A and B are shown apart, each in its own frame.
Chain A
């Protein structure tokens, strides 16, 4: 049972480069999201999706794009990387069922460094 899988786990970029962080889940979760974790700031929501074709912004969306073409996949795109985007990125998914607690299942994280 793979759960939530993120790739790559580590990436170094130069300022201005683009890249995509991949996220896939095999639990048939409707809800998927991306968080970034910075020292002393906890986790902050970047973008989220409640189903295929539906995405919305979280707390810190600037500089990131997402799309949700399938239930399983939710890639995060950095179009022009900046040093301020150096962070650890977590993908998380959950059911949307009524009455569910909303417990998030997290991937292992992707550490991104922008030089």
Chain B
């Protein structure tokens, strides 16, 4: 079964510091994708970053990078130089080629609070 685990219910970071949000996944498939979404207090879901299971390099998108450790089945999100606007819920999600890359399974989320 596919499962995403986010063990940090909440995280605090000071503005301009870096923060890592943890995500581990469970799958027996070889072909899968890993996603991170941001959900601010307004409620919308914002796509941040994607990592394919066959991608050898870690994905990066601006201040976001995904620390992909395939053997450990982890896909941690690193946010560099945190900003006040980064305060939000962050969800890790996974999809599989076998079931369709669009069928995402989500973790329970981590609430990030950035303080001045």
Contact = CB atoms under 8 A, between A and B. Distances in A.
- Chain A partners chain B: yes
Contacts of B103: 33, 45, 48, 58
Contact of A102 (B44, B102, B107, B108): B102
B47 interface: yes
Contacts of B102: 31, 33, 48, 94, 96, 102, 104
Contacts of B45: 43, 90, 92, 104, 106, 109
| Majority secondary structure of chain B interface residues (helix, strand, loop or mixed) | strand
Nearest to A107: B44
Nearest to A92: B45
A90 to B, nearest CB: 6
B101 A42 contact: no
Contact of A42 (B33, B43, B47, B91): B91
A73 interface: no
A96 B91 CA distance: 22
A106 B91 CA distance: 14
Contacts of B109: 42
Interface in B71-103: 91, 93, 95, 100-103
Interface string A27-45: 0000101010000111111
Interface of B: 4, 33, 35, 43-45, 47, 50, 52, 91, 93, 95, 100-109
Q: Which 5 A-B pairs have the closest CB atoms?
A: A102-B101, A106-B45, A42-B106, A43-B106, A31-B102
